[in-house]
Amino acid sequence: MKCICNLGMTENLLAALDNHYAGVFKYEEVSFINKALRVIPLEQLKEAALKSSTLTFHENFMKELLRWFKEDFFSWVDCKPCSRIGCNGTTRNGGGLQPTVDEAGYGASRVEAHQCTLCGGVTRFPRYNDPSKLLETREGRCGEWANCFTGICRALGYDTRYVYDVTDHVWTEVFSPHLDRWVHCDPCENAWDRPLVYEQGWKKQLSYVIAFSRDEVVDVTMRYSIEHDAVRARRPDEARVRERITQLNKRFNHSPDKRQALRKRLVKEILQMSANNNLGNVGSYEGRQSGSAEWRQSRGEDGSCGSSPAPAIIQTKATSSFTLRYNIVTDLYHITTDGKDSPTVQGWPSLVFQARNLFKKVEYDWNKVYLARNSSDKATIEWRFHCAYPIKKAEVSVVSDVFHSGRIRWSYGGEDSELNLKDNYSSDEVDAALRNKDKIRIVAVLEGGDGNNSWQHTQLFRADLPDESVTSFSISLSF
């Protein structure tokens, strides 16, 4: 049994703080500022802001800037179109590639390989981290969106922060002189002053949200939550994280007057966050809007909080053999009937009869992927099979990991029989539970774990990225 310890998680967080601290200074480069100002339709945005009388010009302009960035300037990438001339095939993420020297020069530490489902060709998707390069490519996911938008706000002279959420999202904050506070801006969602959208709409379990600017590094987590006690309970090694933030802030070479002004503003900000006085536009919140529906659901950010996908029953007319294999790295089901392969089926929920409280978790820092619980509550997943003939022999193989006191319990049986949940079982017992039946079900229950990170202590189908050779789950039936 492996052990995930808080030490490793904290080291990754501390390294991320260092990287983001260094990254914001790229926005101050004169070459970037001039390049950004050339692409912003400044007069058009000013004219639109002046037509609105709902807020001050500053706030109206920021809302117009968000709208322009999302609707006219930047594009979201789920998978790139096939780059082969004349091919109109769609692609899927097929793992990672080594960045070229040119790609690495623009901050692309990883490159996704998007493989065409029609011609088999591979299209590269470098994950650029250079805001100047992003002004040219104008595409990406939340990392690229927030990086480029934050830079554009700085080029316009706004007091701006790049905001990093440890649970895998980034966005922007802009200081409003009129409101006398920092305002949440998410270019992916065209969201202005909606800080609770992640916790209340996306159902995120926040732990650390850290803001970076040319002047300071600030823990702003409590601005984005009304569940402060729950947030504090999720924080490993809080003293070490706080110490690193203090160390980073000591690197800024401010004059005494500026240091005093920043301290005064920070004290007011902390009081606002502690009292929940800066909740922005409070109201109903919806799940994530950016990205494909499948991608949003796989991340557990569509607002459904792990609700069950539409029930699916796997039906086979096989006369001699049937095999179903699932690979979590490619997120594909492979089905073979009587020795003949069927087209692959995309998405883990696609062939599931029911699932509760589950989402697909990708750990880019650890290069791992698995199905995880959305919360500390119990999660279940069930597959059902209807066969044309009674089963003579059955074999099931599963890859998963549990940590600390986490448990994944499997059960097998007929569709109408009571399933016997056990921690350990043999292949012969599985075979006996399914033999002579033509309607069967397979159920996994994820539960247990320690503390407020217990949701992470049951990892179903855990696999290394980008290894596509693993079979996460398989069932083979003979008739």
Residues tagged active-site: 142, 169, 186
User: In 3D, which of 246, 184, 233, 146 has the Cα closest to residue 59?
Assistant: 184
- Alpha carbon distance 333, 313 (integer Å): 14
Q: Residue for token digits 């801006």?
A: 185
C-alpha of 374 from chain center: 12
- Alpha carbon distance 371, 445 (integer Å): 12
